[in-house]
Amino acid sequence: MSLRDKLSEIKEKGLADIDQANDLKKLNEIRVHLLGKKGPITAALRGIKELTPEERPEVGSYANKIRDAITEAVSNHREELETAQLNQQLATEKIDVTLPGKPVAQGQPHVIQQIIDQIVDLFLGMGYEVLTGPEVEEDKYNFEMMNLPKNHPARDMQDTFYLSREILMRTQTSPMQARALEKHDFSEGPLKMISPGIVYRRDTDDPTHSHQFHQVEGLVIDEHITMADLKGTLITMAQNIFGDKFDIRLRPSYFPFTEPSVEVDVTCFNCMGKGCDVCKHTGWIEVLGAGMVHPNVLKMAGVDSDVYGGFAFGVGPDRFAMLRYGVDDIRDFYLNDVRFLNQFSKRGN
Amino acid sequence: MKVSYKWLKQYLDLDMPAKDLAEKIERTAVEVDSVKVAEDGLKKLVVGHILSMKDHPESDHLHICSVDVGEDEPLQIVCGAPNVAAGQKVIVALPNSRIGGNVKIKRSKMRGVESSGMICALDEIGFSKDVVPKEWADGIYVFDDDVPVGEPIYHYLGMDDPIIDLDVTPNRGDMLSIIGTVHELAAIYDQQPEIKKPVVDEDATLDAQAEISATADSKLAKTYKLRVVEDVKIAPSPAWLQIILWNAGIRPINNVVDVTNYILLKYGQPLHSFDKDKINGNITVRNAAKGEKLTTLDEDNHELSTEDIVIADQDQPIALAGVMGGFNTQIDNDTQNVVIESAIFDSFHIRKTAQRHVLHTEASQRFERGINPDGVADALNEAVSLIKQLAGGKIAKGTITASDYHPELPVISITAERTNHVLGTSLKLDEIKAIFDRLGFSSITDGDQLQVTIPARRWDIHIDADLFEEVARIYGYDNLPATLPTGRQTIGVLTAAQRLQRAVRQILEGIGLTQAISYSLTTEEKAKMFLMQSSEPTQLLWPMTQDHTTLRMNLLSGLLDDVAYNHARKVDDVALYESGRVFYKDSADQVRPKEVEHIAGVITGNLTNPSWNNHVKAADFFLIKGMVNQFIVNLGIKGDISYTATDQYPEMHPGRTAEISIHGHDVGFVGQIHPQIAKKFKIKETYAFELDMQALIDLPKNDDQYQAVAKYPSIKRDISIIVDSEITNDQIVQLMQKRGGAYLHEIRLFDVYEGKNVPDGKKSMAYSLTYVNPRETLKDEVVNTAFEKIKKRLTADLNAEIR
Ligand SMILES: [Zn+2]
C-alpha cells in the first residue's frame, strides 16, 4: 500500500469516527488522536523517508490537506453537537408563559383631570394661555363684573356659599374672564385664555348635583373675533374631545355675561344622533354654554367694547366625563373609590 | 309655560307635527322641556250615557249602571262614585281598555255583579289631581249634554292637544304668554298673525269711578288699573275654558277666576279679581306696614314685611300684590260684583316677596320677569268682556287708573358691517331688515344704518348686541359659518410652574399613586388637622350640611376620608395622592384666606397585588419615605433633602414621622398616621405625606444637572460598625461625608441589625463606600488612607466599634 493510500485510509476512518462522536469530549479525543504527534498521520508520515525527493512534497501537501479536512470536520461536528446540547438545555428551561407577570405599581390621573388636560392641551395648541385664579373669590369678580349686579334675578343667593357679604366660593370660572381682561395688554396681542378650576354651589349632593365640581372657562378677545369663530372653535373641541363623528349645534340661551348667548349640544353619545332615552329622542345632548362677551363685561374691565370683542365659553369636565363614560352619579368623582378611579385609561384620549 | 298647540293654531297657519314645531322653537327661541299629548298611552275610552242605574244588592255604595256606549247593547258597569246618576254622560273605559298609569281594564265581577268596564274620574285617566276642578275631585267627570255618545273622549277633554312645555330663559318673559309665543313663531315661520284688540261693551249707566277708587305708589306699581263688573253669576266655566286651563296646569275654579287665569296665559298679564262687596272703601297700593298680616287664598297666614307690596282697602291688606290674593276678598259662589285688577308691580319687590313667603306663583313668576306695558289695558278689557260673556252682568263704564306707564320705545341703530363683524356672517342690510320685519320690529334704513324700533313687548332688548342675537337666531345658528380665530398670532405654552405641576402628577402616578380629587369643604375638626403652619379656619356663612362647613387647611384629612370610603367598601389597599389648594388665615377676623397649593399622598396595605411570584410587604414608613424622596429628587430642586424626626403633628405617629426640608426650607412631612386618628377615621395602618407644593415650585432648581460620568474605575470598601442604638443613620453618614476625603463618591447602607451577637442597646450598621477620582485612576494607598481616617473618626466621635 502506498503512503498516499495509507493516508487516504486514515482520512476515511478519521472522518467516520468524527461523524460518529456523540459528545464534545469524544470529539476532542478523536481530534487530538488524529492530529497529535502520536497520531496515525504523524506515524504514517514517518514512511516519507522512503520516498524519492520528488515525491515527498506532493505527499506532504496531501497530508496537510487531510489535516485541514479533519480540522474542518471536527469544527463542523462540534457546532452541531453544541447546538444540540444548547437545544437540550433550552428544552429543560421551558416555562409556562401564561403565568401572570410580576405586578408593577402604577397610578392613574383622575378621570376629570384627564379631561381637563385634554381640553387644555387642545387649546394650548391653538395658542391659548392657561390661567388659574382663586377659588375664594370676590363678589365683584364672580358676579358684578360678569354683568350680574346685586339685584339681578339670575343671581340666586341660595346657590352661593358666602364667607362674608363680599367674599364667596366662586360659583363659576367666569370671574377669570374679568381678571384676565383687567390685566391684559391688548397692544401685546389678543387675549386667548383657558382657565380650568374647581367651583362651588350651595347644592345638596345627589347623583346629578355636587356642591363642588369643575369648570373650564375659555375666552378670546381681539379686534375681529366673530360668532362663527366661536362655532368653529367649539366644533374643534367637540371633535377633539369626543371624536370626529361628533357634531354640535347652537341654541339660543341666556347668560348675563354674553350676548348673543347660546347653549351647545353635541351629538348624543348613546345613539350617535338617532335618538334614544338618554337624549330624550332628540339625538343631541347639552354640554356647555357660550356666547359673545357682553359689552358691559368688557367695559367694566376697562376694555373698549367698540374696538375689542370676542367669545367666551364654559365647559363642565364632570359632565363631559359622565356623558363620555356613562357615569351616572357625579359623587363618584369625589369619593375616590380606587376601583372607580383605576378604570379610566391613561392613554390620554 | 305649557303651550297648547291648538291655541297657537288659532293665530298661525301651522301644520307640522308638534315635535317638529318644538324642535324649531328650541333651535330659535327657548328650550322645550317636553311635548306631551295626554291621550298617548290611553285606549278605548269613550263617552257613555248612563241610561239607568240601580243599587248594588251587596253594597251600600256601589251602583249598577246601564250605559250606552254607542254599541248595539248597553253595557252593565258597576260604579262606586258618589256623584254617579242616571242621565249623565260620562267617561267609560271599555273592556280591554287602558287608562292612566298604564292600567288595563278588563271585564270583571264586583261583589258578584258583572261589570263590563269602568266609569272614570279625571285623575283615573291621567289628570293630575292639582288641575281637576273641585266639583269633579271626589267623583266621576260628567260631560256637557251635547257630547256624542260612543265617541272617543279625548277631543272633548282637550287630551288630543299637544302641549309644548317651554323652559323660558329669564330674558324671555315675553314668551310666558300665548301672544308672545305667537309673535315668536310668526317671526320663525314668517307669518302675519292677526291679534285683535278687545272691544268692551260697557254699560253707560254704571260708572266705574263711582263704584271704586284707587291710589298707587308708582314706584311699587308703574301701572295700576281696575275695572268693575256688576251682577255677575258665579258658575263653573264652560268646558273649552276649563280645558285650556287644565292643559296649562291650572285648576279651573269658576267663571270669573278662570277668566283672569285665561288672560294670564294669553297675555302674560297676571290679573286679580276681588269681590267688590268685601272691599271696604278705597284701594291703595302700598308697602305693608309693620305688623300687618294677611291670609292668602291658599289659607296660609303671612306676617308681612315692610318690603312687601300689598293691595289694601281702608282697613287692611287684601292681597299680596303680584303674588297671591287675600282669602277675605276672594270670589265665592255668592259673589255678585267684581273688581278686576291689571297692573305692573315692581319686579324686584315681587321676587323678594315670593322668596320671603315661599310663594312662587304663575303671577309672581311673570312680574319677576317683566310685563308688556302695552298689554295691561288690553288684558283688562278682554277680561271684563269675557266675564260678561260667561257670567253675565254689566261692565261699568271706564277704567280706574291709579298709575300708568308707557315707556318711549327704544330705537337702536345698527349697520350690516357691525352685525357681520360680530356674527361672522355676510348679510346685507336689506336681509337684516327682513329679519326685523319678521320679528315685527319696525325699522328705517338711513344710509348704511338701520334704525330699529323695539316694540314694548320685547323689553329684554336694549343694545345692539341684543339685536345681533335676534338676527343670529332668526337667520339660524346652523347657517352661521364655522371658522377659527384669525388675526394676531399667539403662542400657547404652559408656564414653568404649570409644567412642574403636571410633572408632579406624572411622577407620583409613575411610582404607584392614583390621583384623587376630594372635597375642599370639610368639617372644622378635619380642616384643622395636619397643620403645617398656624392658621385660623375659614368658615361658610350658611353651609348646606354639617359635613362641609369649613375650608380645608390640609389635603390629608380628605385623603383619609377617601381611604375610609374604600375600607368601608372592602378595599384594603389604597394608594392615592391629591394636588389641590389649602386655605390659610392668619387671624380669625381675616375674611379672605390665602390659597396655597399642596400635594399629599397616602398608602395603606399593599402597593401591588400579591401574586404567585410577588411576595409583597404591606406599606411601611420606609416605602413612603422612598417614594417622597424619589419624588423630590425628580423635581431637581437645588440642595440636600433632609429628614428630621418630629413629634409636632398631633395627628401623626410621634416616633415615625419626619419633617422634610430642602436646603434648610421646611416643605412638609412624611410618616405614619397616628393610630388614634386612624381609629377615628376607621382606617388601617396608613402612611402619608403632605408637602407645600408652592414651596417646591418656588425653590430654585438645578438648571445644569449634568456631570461627566467618571472614566476611571472606582474602588469599593465595606465597613461594618456597632454603635449605640440612639445614633442615627444621618449622624453616621454626615460624619463619613465630612471626613471621607475628596474621592468618597457614594455611601450606601446595606445592612442594619439588632439582636443576637450585638450587645443590648447597640446596633450593627454596614455601609458600602465607593471612591472615585474623576481625573485619574485611584491608587489603593489613597483609598486606604481615607478609609482609615473614617474608621478613626467613627470610633472617636460616635464611639463606634469597627467589626
Ligand atoms: Zn341619544
Partner-chain contact B31 A167, CB within 8 Å: no
Residue B8 has pLDDT above 60, yes or no: yes
* The domain over range B496-698 is classified in CATH as 3.30.930.10: yes
> What is the reported pLDDT for A154?
72
Cβ neighbour number for residue A139 with a 10 Å cutoff = 19
List phi, psi (to 5°) of A70: -65, -45
Of B473, B480, B505, the CB nearest to A231: B480
DSSP 8-state class, residue B614? B
Helices (H), B268-361: 347-356
The residues near A185 (Cβ < 8 Å, ≥ 6 apart) are: none
Per-residue pLDDT tens for B614-641? 888 899 999 999 999 999 999 989 888 9
One of 3.40.50.970, 1.10.1040.10, 1.10.357.10, 3.30.56.10 is the CATH number of B411-479, namely 3.30.56.10
Structural domains of chain A ordered from first start = 3-92 (no CATH), 111-348 (3.30.930.10)
- Which strand (E) or helix (H) includes residue A61? helix A55-92
Question: Percent of chain B having pLDDT more than 70?
Answer: 100
How many degrees, rounded to 5, is the angle at CA B415 between CA B412 and CA B417? 150
The DSSP secondary-structure symbol of B74 reads P
Distance of CA B443 to the CA centre of its chain: 40
Distance between CA atoms of B636 and B700, rounded to whole angstroms?
9
* Residue-level pLDDT at B250: 96
Instruction: Select from B424, B492, B544 the Cβ nearest to the Cβ of A211.
Output: B544
Residues 364-383 of B with CB under 8 A from A: 368-369
Flag whether residue B630 sits within 8 Å of chain A, measured between CB atoms.
no
pTM reported for the whole predicted model: 0.87
Show which of residues 555-594 on chain B sit within 8 Å of chain A, judged by CB atoms. 562, 565-566, 569, 571, 573-577, 580-581, 583, 591-593
**Per-residue pLDDT, B763:** 94
| Percent of chain B surpassing pLDDT 90 | 90
Output the known binding site of A for Mg(2+): 259
Which CATH number does the domain B715-802 belong to among 3.40.720.10, 3.30.70.380, 1.10.40.60, 3.40.50.300?
A: 3.30.70.380
Fold of B43-157: OB fold (Dihydrolipoamide Acetyltransferase, E2P) (2.40.50)
Does the annotation flag B469 for ligand binding? yes
Looking at residue A349, what is its pLDDT? 43
For residue A348, pLDDT over 60 is answered with no
Closest Cα of chain B to A16: distance in Å? 51
**pLDDT, tens only, B414-450:** 999 999 999 999 999 999 999 999 999 999 999 999 9
Rounded-to-integer distance, Cα A13 and Cα A17, Å: 6
Binding residues of A are 259
Mean pLDDT, rounded, for B579-597: 95
B540 touches chain A (CB under 8 A): yes
| Chains A, B: CB pairs < 8 Å | 254
pLDDT (average), residues B722-729:
93
Q: Considering only CB atoms, which chain B residues are within 8 Å of A185? A: none
Facing B492 at nearest CB: one of A108, A125, A335: A125
Q: B43-157 and B411-479 share one CATH topology?
A: no
Scanning B514-533 for CB atoms below 8 A from A yields 514-521
Which 3 state secondary structure label does DSSP give B496?
Answer: helix
- List the one residue out of B757, B756, B752, B755 whose CA is nearest residue B727: B752
Give CA–CA dist A254/A270, Å, rounded: 27
Is there a contact between B167 and B30 (Cβ–Cβ < 8 Å)? yes
The closest alpha carbon to B340, from B293, B304, B289, B391, belongs to B391
Distance from CA of B562 to the nearest CA of A (A): 6
Return the C-alpha torsion angle B567, B573, B575, B576, nearest 10.
-20
Residue B126 per-residue DSSP state:
T
Backbone φ and ψ for B495, nearest 5 degrees, come out as -75, 165
Contact B613 A102 (CB under 8 A): yes
Class of domain B2-37+162-189: alpha beta
- Pick from B562, B591, B607: which is nearest to A105 by CB? B607
pLDDT at A167 exceeding the cut of 60: yes
What's the pLDDT score for residue B71? Answer: 92
Q: What is the pLDDT of residues B188-229, one digit of tens each?
A: 999 999 999 999 999 999 999 999 999 999 999 999 999 999
A228, B480 in Cβ contact below 8 A? yes
Listed in sequence order, the residues at least 6 apart from B304 whose beta carbon sits closer than 8 Å to its beta carbon are B288, B289, B292, B293, B294, B310, B317, B320
Chain A nearest-CA distance from B797, in A, is 42
For position A316, what pLDDT does the model report? 92
List phi, psi (to 5°) of B121: -90, 165
CB A336 to CB B576 under 8 A? yes
| CA A246 – ligand 1 centroid, Å | 12
Average pLDDT, chain B: 94
Which residue in A106, A124, A162, A249 has the most chain B C-beta atoms within 10 A of its own C-beta, making it the best mutation to test that interface?
A106
Distance, in Å, from the CA atom of A251 to the CA atom of A233, rounded to the nearest integer, reads: 16
Per-residue pLDDT, averaged over B235-259, amounts to 96
Whether B594 shows a pLDDT value over 50: the answer reads yes
CATH fold of B202-403, please? Phenylalanyl-tRNA Synthetase; Chain B, domain 3 (3.50.40)
Share of chain A above pLDDT 90, in %: 58
Domain boundaries, chain B: 2-37+162-189, 43-157, 202-403, 411-479, 496-698, 715-802
- In this predicted structure, what is the pLDDT of residue A9? 87
Mean local confidence (pLDDT), B448-461? 95
pLDDT at B546 over 90: yes
Enter the C-alpha cell of residue A207: 347623583
State which residue of chain B sits closest to A124, comparing Cα positions.
Answer: B492
Q: Enumerate the H helices of B82-144 as residue ranges.
A: 134-137
Phi, psi of B178 (to 5 degrees): -65, -45
Q: What is the pLDDT of residue A21?
A: 87
Residues pairing with A33 in the sheet: none
